[in-house]
Amino acid sequence: MTEQIPYIDPTGTYDLESKTTKKGNDTYGYYGQIQIKALSTSKIVMTFFVCKGAPSYNSGSFVDTLDYQNNKAIYTDPELDKSCAITFDFKEKSVIVKEKTDDYNFGCGFGHAVVADGIFKKTSSKVPLLKDPGTGQELK
């Protein structure tokens, strides 16, 4: 008999939990944000952004529609990196993000040495106004 996993509504905004330091106008350390809108109990739209901070500000981002099963979603982009898989494991108040790739220097088509690992804490359960992380343009 398989145990039924309670559905977690992933809709909302999540911010990366990490230590950053401000020096003047520069931010040192990783920061990032995920925005999610559930389309159904098994499909989500996600915007994802992560940045290494100063001095390089190398970053990675994507916008995609993903399958959502057992409170998990997996992002892949075979055109950019066949070995890339980013797993999003949703909890009640956070999402645990784990990246797997063959080359962490340029994995998943992200900037040099940007790795999408960490805990993103849920800061809002409201349906977010989805914006492209690269351009800031509102998504329709």
How far from the centroid of its chain's Cα atoms is residue 140's Cα?
Answer: 19
How does pLDDT run across 39-93, given as a tens digit for each residue?
999 999 999 999 999 999 999 999 999 999 999 999 998 888 999 999 999 999 9
Which CATH code for domain 12-124? Answer: 2.40.128
Domain ranges across the chain: 12-124
pTM, entire model = 0.92
d(CA 94, CA 57): 25
Buried b / exposed e over 54-71, threshold 16 CB at 10 Å, is beeeebbbbbeebebeeb
